[in-house]
Structure 1
Amino acid sequence: MSSPDFWKDQEHAQRISKEASELREELFTWEGFLKEISDLEELACLGDESLHDEIATKLVDLEGRFTKMEFATLFAGSYDKDTAIVAIHAGSGGTEAQDWTQMLTRMYLRFAESKHWQVTVLSESRAEDVGLKSITLRVQGRWAYGYLKSEAGVHRLVRISPFDAEKMRHTTFALVEVIPELEDVSEIDIDPKDLRVDTFLSGGKGGQSVNTTYSAVRIVHLPTNIAVVCQNERSQLQNRETAMKILKSKLHQIQLKEQEQKKAQLRGEYQSAEWGNQIRSYVLHPYKLVKDHRTDYETTDAEGVLEGALEPFMEHYLRYELECSSRFEQANKN
């Protein structure tokens, strides 16, 4: 950072400066813990019973803050600090599935709000009557991908449908995709012949002209049939640049997933993230229960979860992921 050439690439320099600032903040916090522990030990050594309650109160507070910092050590992935791209797609089921997609969107927005993250809607397809057919969000904030990667997969809802006149119980599904938005995609090459680019009228925000010009962009990668839509930037060029960046991030993620799947198959734990496998169930009738089928963590506070109380699920998933990785490494050593 002290090099005179450091600031020639402004975007790169700002990213490095931000990471350095975050690391300094973490180091300051850990060093603060050591000092607080030392101070509490000195108080305890005084043997003054009148200080017992004060020491106990400070210890409980210290343990709580330490646990939060210890949780951050679970973010060991290469992209855990990156911005997350979250796409939610309604399954079959019409209005019920579209409403479920909107409920999940609200849940993630609430969670992001609790973290003081910035969320941008990149594209959305609204249903004619109720809910969303699909939506893509960019979530920017500290450890955004590290937290949200646990949400990738199929989410199952069981409830009495408010759209059913006979008040029957319905089961519906939505697919959540989560990928990191890569900062540098210059090394990911895509043959232009492998792309189909469509433009269409945008239905989102972005300025007065957004609904009167063909600013929205859909890019399809023909070999994989992956489609990326971006419609909320102010110009077609910006939408195209954003869509290409997301497409490259998706293709890179596919390569990483293939590597992970090979490891998972070796340890006998691989499951496809397609529609056939649910990662979490949200039961609202005849009882209330939200259960993660990977970690077996569950809670009866379904309302709280749908209001964004997701951190316990994410923490259990991160510990589960770390445990699986450790078991695999240990097996290879043996």
Structure 2
Amino acid sequence: MEEIQAKLKDLKERFKKISDQIDQDSLRGEIREIETRTMKEGFWTDQKQSAAISRQLSDKQKTLETIEHLETRINNSLEISEESSMEEDLKKEIKELEGILDTFEFKLFLSNPHDESEAILSVHSGAGGVEAMDWTAMLVRMYQRYFEKKGWKYEVTDEIPGDEAGFKEVSMIIHESLAYGYLKGEKGTHRLVRQSPFNADNLRQTSFALVEVLPVISEQEVKIDEKDVEFAAFRSSGAGGQNVNKVSTAVRLRHIPTGLVVSAQTERSQLQNRENALKMLTAKLWVLRQAQDKKMIEELKGGATQASWGTQIRSYVLHPYHMVKDLRTQVETSDTEAVLDGDLDQFIEAEVRKL
């Protein structure tokens, strides 16, 4: 039982370090303030805003509940740790507590501005032709599997089909608190090495795709003057129901002062697509205002983005051996099938802790 007692003491010390970083009185005050807002007349009129605030309230309540429950469980376990008959139960409890602490500790890294925000994730095909477009589709599927495993809701807002296979570009909005915090480290070039099914000689080929991650920014934080936005409607090239290719439901917005261009086309109505395009434009304008150097500004405009050699953050090798390796954190695995099926936790957690 001495080993169990030692582990429980270690857990209590870990918990103390974590709880010391959270002002519980302030957290309770924030919860009361949000609860008061939800009870005001007209709060539920704006469904999207009220849903976002409700998610924020739920997250804060869960944080407070987790702190209180962890403290109680650790103290209770310590109290009975001298009873030999409880050894097996305590071993199970310790394992559960370690998992909860790991998750809670990890979330403390997500404390930067907008880490709590929903996210916009886009994948753009780079060097490699048709192979790169197919690689873009593989990455989109990988991220969608990751979202589904997490239980996160997402919607595809824009997709441009490839010439023969895959996609030239796909954009998604992830409707989940902390989505931006989790995903921001995925930004960069992802490199694939494999025997190409599009090559008659079945030769090994390298292709690239660029992943872009932006936070969903509120209209209050970045105000856009309507006269500064050029609007154009066009016929959608993707899925979206009976209106696709019959009426101009797809939307393209150009911000005249900066030259930024965004589009959305997967929803059935022009109004929905315009709303999604405006979210993307708002996010890009927010990042643009944070940018201090010309290179970042050009990349946001799309003029200098190159998904190719020298810019990759992660390599996925399927031939002549199997290996996925992150070039920043050095995390690697030979289980490429699991990674491409959305098993990204080890990579994303390492990014959050390091970056």
Q: Which runs of 4+ in 1 moved over 4 A?
A: none
Q: Give the corresponding residue for 2:331.
A: 297
Q: Percent identity?
A: 40
- 1:206, 1:232 within 8 Å by CA — same for their partners in 2? yes
Q: Give the corresponding residue for 2:315.
A: 281
User: What secondary structure is seen at the aligned counterpart in 1 of 2:206?
Assistant: strand
Q: Give the corresponding residue for 2:346.
A: 312
Alignment of 1:194-209 (within 5 A): 195-209=229-243
How far is 1:249 from its partner?
1.2
Alignment of 1:46-195 (within 5 A): 47-185=82-220, 187-190=222-225, 192-193=227-228, 195=229
Bigger mean CA deviation after superposition, 70-79 or 47-56: 47-56
How far is 1:253 from its partner?
1.4
- 1:153, 1:273 within 8 Å by CA — same for their partners in 2? no
Structure 2 residue corresponding to 1:27, chosen from 40, 64, 76: 64
* Change in 2 beyond 3 A, CA 1:181/1:3: closer
Q: Give the corresponding residue for 1:266.
A: none
Bigger mean CA deviation after superposition, 49-58 or 4-13: 4-13
How far is 1:162 from its partner?
1.7
Alignment deviations for residues 120-179 of structure 1 (CA, whole Å, 9 cap, x no partner): 111111123211111111111232111111111110111111222222111110011110
C-alpha distance in structure 2 between counterparts of 1:122 and 1:222, whole Å: 22
Q: Give TM-score scaled by structure 1 length.
A: 0.84
User: What secondary structure is seen at the aligned counterpart in 1 of 2:243?
Assistant: helix
Bigger mean CA deviation after superposition, 158-167 or 98-107: 158-167
- 1:153, 1:274 within 8 Å by CA — same for their partners in 2? no
- 1:150, 1:317 within 8 Å by CA — same for their partners in 2? yes
Q: Give the corresponding residue for 2:54.
A: 17
C-alpha distance in structure 2 between counterparts of 1:240 and 1:18, whole Å: 24
Listed as ranges, the gaps of 5+ residues in structure 2 are 1-34, 297-303
What amino acid is aligned across from residue 17 of structure 1 in structure 2? S
* Change in 2 beyond 3 A, CA 1:56/1:230: same
User: What secondary structure is seen at the aligned counterpart in 1 of 2:209?
Assistant: strand
Structure 2 residue corresponding to 1:226, chosen from 239, 249, 260: 260
